Amino acid sequence: MSIQTEIRRRRTFAIVSHPDAGKTTLTEKLLLFGGAIHVAGAVKSNKIKKGATSDFMEIERQRGISVATSVMGFEYDGYKVNILDTPGHQDFQEDTFRTLTAVDSVIIVIDAAKGVEPQTEKLMNVCRMRKTPVIIFINKLDRPTQDTFELLDDIERQLQISLNPLSWPINNGPDFKGVYNIFDKSLDFFKPSVQDIEPGISFDDLDSPELEKHIGKDAKKLREDLELVYGVYPPFKHDEYLAGNLAPVFFGSALYNFGIQELLDAFVKIAPWPRPVQTEERLIDPEDEKFSGFVFKIHANIDPNHRSRIAFVKVCSGKFIRNNNYKLIRSGKTFRVSSPTAFMASQKEIIEEAYPGDIVGFPDNGSFIIGDTITEGEDIHFKGLPSFSPELFKFVENADPMKTKQLNKGVDQLMDEGVAQLFTSQFNGRRIIGTVGQLQFEVIQYRLEHEYNAKCRFEPLSMYKACWIQSDNPKALIEFKNRKHQKMATDKRGRDVFMADSQFILDMAQSEFKEIKFHFTSEF
Ligand code: G4P
């Protein structure tokens, strides 16, 4: 197969949702329909169960599981599908955001009864920012929901994206009959069975009295609904979807295997293959001859005794070949990978080669950090792995003076993995850890102790937001830093960060210092 054919048959995507909408169930069902697993229940949820926020063993157990399910690849109908898993727990949002930099499209799962929930909105914002094509799967139709038109209006308004239903539900809850598949003009009947996989029947002519035979008095309502649908929503425009402006919508019930086959069939046909990726220097085309890729995730502690890690690399161009020499741009060093891994059909295996869109696991003993670019030699730097302004802050102090070296190394490595962000106060040199969730502090403390044999203590710090500052006028920057001396810090890359105590203080600073640019992600 030519490299072009290999690229064009790849579909690399993530499924995201607000917790409990059905992400894990849908992932599992896609694997089931894709033939990657054979019984439901084989994929364990990698979400941190509710109420387990201080159960370290649970966190460890969950982290162990999520290694195996980080990337799930399978062959389906001539396509190579790669599903990238994302953590459900909101304290790990930043992991999810980073994973979204490695996908070519996204499926957002929405609970039909609950509609858009807060995390769905945040995830959509990231997709919009990156212009990632999005498909929406409205789940749990077997439960009572609000009126479908109202639901779609709400989603459109809250997610700020135009929708285009490619299937349409016939009732919901206990009366749920199935969906009419607008995309391929077929009727699918709902049978609440957890394992049955039955194809729908083709149904071109909705005016035919045959429809009554299948769905009785609901036929009239379906005809009326669809007339409205065709009137309200213009025909599906593939280009608009690929541009990230239009989200096709599917309905179903992941728990009961319903609507999944249709989703998968439509997905492989319409979802994009790997697209060109922007670096600081130039646009990298997947069909470029030479290999390039970037590290978007580091998974640590697969074996706690060896402190081993896996760096997950998204192949962006060319062909990755085992044992070839590649360059890590940050250090300038050349290296070879003798046992690169990929996850096929939920098995981890050593691979000989990989193509754009694929995710390769590099065994790592601390050489890689998140955001690293790897090439055949060209000095390029992939963009777009932003750190977000953290919102929770604590001073980190050494709780065992005999273990200073271990603590420093541990903190450094955990930050390289992207667990949290480290800032150093320019005022007193104290180190501050910033996170987006409380759970990260517990993970850091636990991992320092168990992996690095170091003990840390956190001291509370009341802070509203950290933001990166910049100015074209060096004088204005110096003046700002002098005035805010006590609130200035440096990030790991040595950049200036303003630590605002409150929204009010941030607003004041923004209106007083017009020449200073305040950035809320590290990528600007
Ligand atoms: P998440 O990964 O998005 O957090 O959601 P997950 O798939 O774990 O699903 C959350 C709950 O919703 C699960 O129930 C799951 O069985 C249920 N669910 C998923 N899809 C459907 C659906 O189509 N219809 C209905 N009725 N329920 C659905 P749970 O009781 O919280 O967990 P479990 O004990 O079943 O694992």
Question: What pLDDT does residue 252 have?
Answer: 93
Protein residue with least CA distance to atom 17, ligand 1: 22
Query: In Å, what is the CA distance from 293 to each residue of 224, 307, 354, 490, 524?
Result: 50, 24, 11, 28, 21
Kindly report the backbone phi and psi dihedral angles of residue 241, in degrees, each rounded to the nearest multiple of 5, phi listed first. Answer: -65, -50
Give residues with Cβ within 8 angstroms of 391, minimum separation 6. 434, 435, 436, 464, 465
pTM: 0.84
How far does residue 338's CA lie from ligand 1's centre (Å)? 40
Rounded distance between C-alpha atoms, residue 446 and residue 439, angstroms: 11
Whether residue 90 has its Cβ less than 6 Å from ligand 1? no
Residues of the chain with pLDDT under 70: 37-69, 88-91, 192-200, 301-307, 344-347, 384-386, 523-524
Ligand 1 contacts CB of residue 145 (under 6 A): no
Question: For residue 142, what pLDDT is reported?
Answer: 93
Smallest CA separation from ligand 1 atom 11, residue: 20
Assess contact for 459 and 421: CB atoms under 8 A.
Answer: no
**How much distance in Å is there from the Cα of 21 to the middle of ligand 1?**
7
Q: Whose C-alpha lies nearest to ligand 1, atom 24?
A: 140
- Taking only the tens place, the pLDDT of each residue in 103-145 is 999 999 999 999 999 889 988 988 998 899 999 999 999 999 9
Pocket test for ligand 1, best of 16, 25, 27, 257 (most atoms within 8 A of CB): 25
What is the C-alpha to C-alpha distance for residues 121 and 132, in angstroms, rounded to an integer?
Answer: 14
Widest distance between CA atoms in the chain: 83
Domain with CATH 3.40.50.300 in the chain: 15-66+107-270, 277-375
| Strand, coil or helix: 9 | coil
**Range list for CATH 3.30.70.3280 in the chain:** 392-519
| CB proximity list for 129: less than 8 A, separation 6 or greater | none
Q: How far is CA 338 from CA 38, 127, 326, 345, 367, in A?
A: 31, 35, 12, 22, 15
As its CATH architecture, domain 392-519 has 2-Layer Sandwich (3.30)
Which of 15, 16, 18, 20 has most ligand 1 atoms within 8 Å of its beta carbon, as the pocket-test mutant? 20
Burial 125-141 (b: 16+ CB within 10 A, else e): ebbeeeebbbbbbbbbb
What pLDDT is stored for residue 52 in this prediction? 37
Tell me which residue of 1, 137, 132, 130 sits closest to 75, measured CA to CA.
Answer: 1
Confirm or reject: Cβ of 139 under 6 Å from ligand 1. Answer: yes
How many A from CA of 100 to the centre of ligand 1?
23
The helix/strand/coil state of 282 is coil
Q: How far is CA 524 from the centre of its chain?
A: 20
Architecture of domain 277-375 in this structure: 3-Layer(aba) Sandwich (3.40)
Out of 3.90.470.20, 3.40.190.10, 3.40.50.300, 3.10.20.600, which CATH number does the structure's domain 15-66+107-270 have?
3.40.50.300
Q: Which helix (H) or strand (E) holds 5?
A: helix 3-8
The string of pLDDT tens digits covering residues 368-405 is: 988 899 999 999 999 866 677 788 999 999 999 899 99
335 to 106, 317, 342, 378, 400: CA distances (angstroms): 33, 18, 19, 14, 36
